Chains A and B, each alone.
Chain A
Amino acid sequence: MKRKQLTAAFMVLTMAAATMMGCAKDAQTSKTTTDGGKEIREYTAFFAVPGNEINDDNEIQQMIAEITGAKVKETWLTGQTAEEAVGTLIAGGEYPDFICGSDGTAQLYDAGALVALDDYLDDYPNIKNFFTEEEWDKLRQSDGHIYWIPQFNNSYGENIETTHNDEAFWIQTRVLKWAGYPKITTMDEYFDLIERYNEANPTMEDGTANIPYTILCDDWRYFCLENAPLFLDGYANDGSCIVDPKTEKVIDYNMTPTAKRYFQKLNEEFHKGIVDPESFTQIYDEYIAKLSTGRVLGMIDQWWNFAYTVNDALKQQGLEDQGCNYVPLPITIEKGVQNNWHTSGDTLNVGSGLSISVDCKDVEGALQFVNDLLSEEVIRLRHWGVKDVDYLVGDDGLFYRTDEMRMEAANTAYKASHLCTYSYFPTYTGMSQDGINACKPEIQPLEFLSGLPKNVQECLEAYGCKTYVDMIGTNPIPGPWYPIYSFVGTMTTATEGGTAWTKIGELKHEYLPKVVMATDFEEAWTEYQEVYNGCNPQSFLDEVQAEVDRRIEVSKQSAQ
């Protein structure tokens, strides 16, 4: 009797278990599928960055599979940091075939999860030619082997740049137009212009008040506030510190006289009511919403952080005609300092890239796939899409797209079902092999021009410029260490310098807003300075210096 009831009580559990087990274990990837008689190799990939997942029946993915004989199921980071995701992978000791660890790349290397690629490279010409010998050498790890292939910023032909994708002081074209397109090159001139404009035009056409200058300070996006001193002194974007190209020495930009002048200026402007009082409390969404109303005259930001959503919104509301789009200005602290906001040429980020894991059963096949992805035909499929469907070819051989095609290319559903860029696999940018078309539509000069808002076009013309980049000019890469942020990104609290770096970040988040809002700037600055020096910044700089020296050494060796 009792036993019977006992069984009954556990019935639910066992029943459920039994029914479910059936459909449980069918998940692992099958290595091959046949499609039209042809064998297609299937690989898995995980990228520790957020990304766009595509549909299983994606059309271009299928076309690429027919050309290359392989297909990759990609998964992306969701709701975890790269290190956490990589940490779980390492803990479980199970890896997908392809992997890009992003910020967790060093951990993967440490855990012995990656396959050394250098012995294979010679067999795959497209991969081999993707970098020069010198560049490959930069990628060698402490054991002398190469484990990952950086995917981006690699031009096949001439490097084409239309947009300044990075940081700058941005300003609305209406401000420049009002002032008759003056030459603005210093921080003081910039704020002076904004002040004068705002005094003459305190509101927009519909009567809403302008916000003269706003600062985004939300979490990691606080670069909009903190690293301007680096650029104001005319140095290239090394990210977390200055590396002086002349002396090859690392300089801390946080405590330079320029930094003090910059924050003092912000402090003055804050009390004049020019700096948006909500600057330090707004979150990213609010900031974007603010820019989208066209009320904000100027700010520091990186193009990719605001432009796509904001420009779209401005267009929809007809605010383009009011001159609400942003252009960058070549601002420095003093006249005569050469601005270095834009660095041209390919920036090799040695910190991470595409790797093949030790769990990959077919390394040759995987590399063959990477190799095939770099062929002209496949690159075109990845970035331009299908001829006559996603783009047209003019009589002169130039690729172009109709408005509908552009619209489709930006449609989320279409992207998922049709387009397949394999975006975290190595790819080329710049001029393609045919010598007339760019590798990607967005850098095709005509494509770029036809999408430019009128007010921006007018503004660029007034300054004699063709692209955003022309507005601030361009500079060569300063030296073989560049960009040093690819090293700082891998620093952790395991070292003294890394701890100092993390502490400094925490501290600046708290004190920089205080400094800007302080009624007594000098006092606030002194306090900030004291706490700052208490964080042992020198240990950070020393570690970075060591890396700079190492990189210079490596580059010298491979030049020989």
Chain B
Amino acid sequence: MDKRMILHEKKKTSLSDKIFIVLNTVFMILFVVITLYPVLNTLVLAFNNGTDSLRGGLYLWPRKWTLKNFNTVLHKNNLLIGAYITVLRTVFGTLTALAANALLAYIVSRKRFLFKKELSLFWVITMYVNGGMIPTFLLYKGLGLTNSFMVYIIPGMIGAFYMLVIRTYMGGIPDSLEESAQLDGAGEMTIFIRIISPLCKPVYATVALFIAVGHWNSWFDAMLYNRMSTSLTTLQYELMKLLSSVMNQSTSIQAMKDSATAVTPTSVRAAATILTMLPIVSLYPFLQRYFVAGLTIGGVKE
């Protein structure tokens, strides 16, 4: 909301508005507390000695500080390769998927396009049907996508959900804009790139965030298709492996004698969660800028 409006408001804040503001603030504070607490608790677990955590009673502050949990995570073999591949796939995967989804959304948002309806339906169906793991695996293998980086990029390029979200947003853009462009002799691609896309920044930012998070968190494809290729592992896959190996901790008596390890699956999981959450969470404020940008464009346009 811009400043003029706030000024405007101050003049006539009615009683009901005041009540609203108070209630809303209380609600938001409550919401923040309920939401934040478990995240905070995870943070505490991540910094607390693993075996000590088993005693329970940990709420807001670690009892026995340790960096061991993080150490265990960071010392994971291949973690760097995993992080590198994950960053690569997140960047490339998000860019390509966003471009593809936006273009497709643009096509089906053309009101006069011949196969508008059929094309939408074609993609909507893909959200609800899939052939299952084995046929998919065979297909990727046939296409030479297994043991390759492209398996992270190509198969997931179009997501009907994202396409529809963008299409809906595009549907809200007044036709008059394109019509005048068309009269100027602009082709479809020019309209898409020059006129529609700049207006779609907020929804592009949103969808990019969704896609990026998907890439960042994925590990199943790494396991399924690139199991034997260490150089193509992903961050989350390495963390999954770490967790299952901590859970599987030695079947020997030394574990019980040793008081120094003090990592448990729970504490390692907490540390891994915090570590993977950080980058994406810190990415958000940057994307938020585009949300605001969308607002200004909307304002200028009228």
Instruction: Tell which of B54, B253, B254 touches A163, judged by Cβ atoms closer than 8 Å.
Output: B253
Contact B229 A27 (CB under 8 A): yes
Give chain B interface residues in 257-296, CB to chain A under 8 Å. 257-266
Binds B, one of A73-81, A119-127, A528-536, A539-547: A73-81
Cβ-closest chain A residue relative to B190: A5
Instruction: Tell which of A20, A73, A94, A309 touches B149, judged by Cβ atoms closer than 8 Å.
Output: A20
Q: How far is the CA of A464 from the CA of B192 in the complex (A)?
A: 86
Contact partners of B149 in chain A: CB under 8 A: 20-21, 23-24
Contact partners of B52 in chain A: CB under 8 A: 313, 316-317
Give chain B interface residues in 202-240, CB to chain A under 8 Å. 219-220, 223-224, 226-232, 237, 240
Query: A92 near B: Cβ within 8 Å?
Result: yes
Cβ-closest chain A residue relative to B247: A50
Contact partners of A524 in chain B: CB under 8 A: none
Instruction: Tell which of A26, A51, A410, A447 touches B260, judged by Cβ atoms closer than 8 Å.
Output: A410
Per-position contact with B for A97-118: 1 when CB-CB < 8 Å, else 0?
A: 0000000000000000000000
Contact partners of B226 in chain A: CB under 8 A: 27
Contact partners of B95 in chain A: CB under 8 A: 12, 16
Contact A1 B251 (CB under 8 A): no
Known: A24-B149, A44-B228, A316-B262. A5 touches B187 (CB 8 A): yes
Contact B193 A75 (CB under 8 A): no
Contact A409 B134 (CB under 8 A): no
Distance of A162 from chain B, by nearest CB (Å): 8
Cβ-closest chain B residue relative to A28: B147
Q: How far is the CA of A44 from the CA of B247 in the complex (A)?
A: 23
Distance of A245 from chain B, by nearest CB (Å): 29
Query: B25 near A: Cβ within 8 Å?
Result: no
Contact B190 A76 (CB under 8 A): no
Contact A407 B245 (CB under 8 A): no
Query: B126 near A: Cβ within 8 Å?
Result: no
Instruction: Tell which of B138, B150, B261 touches A411, judged by Cβ atoms closer than 8 Å.
Output: B261
Contact B254 A441 (CB under 8 A): yes
Query: A406 near B: Cβ within 8 Å?
Result: yes
Contact A29 B241 (CB under 8 A): no
Distance of A404 from chain B, by nearest CB (Å): 9
Contact A451 B187 (CB under 8 A): no
Contact partners of B229 in chain A: CB under 8 A: 27-28
Contact A76 B241 (CB under 8 A): yes
Query: B148 near A: Cβ within 8 Å?
Result: yes
Query: A412 near B: Cβ within 8 Å?
Result: yes
Contact partners of A309 in chain B: CB under 8 A: 51, 54, 249, 255, 264
Contact A292 B55 (CB under 8 A): yes
Per-position contact with B for A428-441: 1 when CB-CB < 8 Å, else 0?
A: 00000000000011
Q: How far is the CA of A9 from the CA of B189 in the complex (A)?
A: 8
Query: A393 near B: Cβ within 8 Å?
Result: no
Known: A2-B187, A88-B134. A411 touches B230 (CB 8 A): no
Contact partners of A494 in chain B: CB under 8 A: none
Instruction: Tell which of A13, A50, A315, A441 touches B259, judged by Cβ atoms closer than 8 Å.
Output: A315
Contact partners of B100 in chain A: CB under 8 A: 13
Contact A312 B254 (CB under 8 A): no
Q: How far is the CA of A87 from the CA of B132 in the complex (A)?
A: 12
Contact partners of B240 in chain A: CB under 8 A: 78-79
Known: A12-B99, A13-B99, A24-B148. A316 touches B251 (CB 8 A): no
Q: How far is the CA of A56 from the CA of B257 in the complex (A)?
A: 28
Q: How far is the CA of A53 from the CA of B241 in the complex (A)?
A: 8
Contact B254 A406 (CB under 8 A): yes
Cβ-closest chain B residue relative to A44: B228
Distance of A440 from chain B, by nearest CB (Å): 7
Q: How far is the CA of A309 from the CA of B133 in the complex (A)?
A: 36
Q: How far is the CA of A355 from the CA of B250 in the complex (A)?
A: 23
Per-position contact with B for A342-356: 1 when CB-CB < 8 Å, else 0?
A: 000000000000000
Q: How far is the CA of A16 from the CA of B154 in the complex (A)?
A: 10
Contact B56 A407 (CB under 8 A): no
Contact partners of A131 in chain B: CB under 8 A: none
Per-position contact with B for A176-211: 1 when CB-CB < 8 Å, else 0?
A: 000000000000000000000000000000000000
Q: How far is the CA of A100 from the CA of B138 in the complex (A)?
A: 22
Q: How far is the CA of A44 from the CA of B229 in the complex (A)?
A: 11
Query: A463 near B: Cβ within 8 Å?
Result: no
A to B contact number (C-beta, < 8 Å) = 208
Per-position contact with B for A1-38: 1 when CB-CB < 8 Å, else 0?
A: 11001101100110011001101111111000000000
Q: How far is the CA of A94 from the CA of B253 in the complex (A)?
A: 38
Query: A458 near B: Cβ within 8 Å?
Result: no
Q: How far is the CA of A121 from the CA of B185 in the complex (A)?
A: 80
Give chain B interface residues in 117-142, CB to chain A under 8 Å. 133-134, 137-138, 141
Contact partners of B146 in chain A: CB under 8 A: 92, 94
Give chain A interface residues in 388-424, CB to chain B under 8 Å. 403, 406-407, 409-413, 415-416
Distance of A26 from chain B, by nearest CB (Å): 6
Q: How far is the CA of A315 from the CA of B55 in the complex (A)?
A: 12
Distance of A100 from chain B, by nearest CB (Å): 14
Cβ-closest chain B residue relative to A19: B92
Query: B103 near A: Cβ within 8 Å?
Result: yes
Instruction: Tell which of B134, B141, B153, B223 touches A20, judged by Cβ atoms closer than 8 Å.
Output: B153
Query: A220 near B: Cβ within 8 Å?
Result: no
Known: A410-B258, A451-B253. A92 touches B247 (CB 8 A): no
Query: A52 near B: Cβ within 8 Å?
Result: yes
Contact partners of B77 in chain A: CB under 8 A: 53-56, 416
Distance of B101 from chain A, by nearest CB (Å): 12
Per-position contact with A for B89-107: 1 when CB-CB < 8 Å, else 0?
A: 0001001100110010000
Contact B193 A5 (CB under 8 A): yes
Query: A446 near B: Cβ within 8 Å?
Result: no
Contact B51 A46 (CB under 8 A): no
Distance of A413 from chain B, by nearest CB (Å): 4
Contact B256 A312 (CB under 8 A): yes
Query: B14 near A: Cβ within 8 Å?
Result: no
Contact A25 B147 (CB under 8 A): yes
Contact B51 A26 (CB under 8 A): no
Contact B257 A451 (CB under 8 A): yes
Contact A316 B137 (CB under 8 A): no
Query: A91 near B: Cβ within 8 Å?
Result: yes
Contact partners of A25 in chain B: CB under 8 A: 147-148
Q: How far is the CA of A132 from the CA of B203 in the complex (A)?
A: 70
Distance of A462 from chain B, by nearest CB (Å): 21
Chain A residues at the B interface, C-beta cutoff of 8 Å: 1-2, 5-6, 8-9, 12-13, 16-17, 20-21, 23-29, 44, 46, 50-56, 73, 75-80, 84, 87-88, 91-92, 94, 96, 162-163, 285, 288-289, 292-293, 304, 307-309, 311-313, 315-317, 403, 406-407, 409-413, 415-416, 440-442, 447-448, 451
Which 8 A-B residue pairs are closest in the complex by CB-CB distance?
A27-B229, A5-B189, A410-B258, A292-B54, A311-B256, A50-B244, A442-B252, A451-B257
Given A28-B228, A56-B77, A317-B52, 15 new contacts (CB under 8 A): A6-B189, A21-B149, A23-B149, A44-B228, A79-B244, A87-B134, A293-B55, A308-B255, A312-B259, A316-B52, A316-B259, A409-B254, A410-B254, A412-B246, A412-B261
28 examples of A-B residue contacts, CB within 8 angstroms:
A1-B187, A2-B188, A12-B99, A20-B150, A24-B149, A27-B229, A28-B229, A29-B228, A46-B228, A52-B245, A54-B77, A56-B78, A87-B133, A91-B137, A94-B146, A285-B266, A289-B56, A311-B256, A313-B51, A316-B259, A316-B262, A317-B52, A407-B258, A415-B250, A440-B252, A441-B254, A442-B254, A447-B253
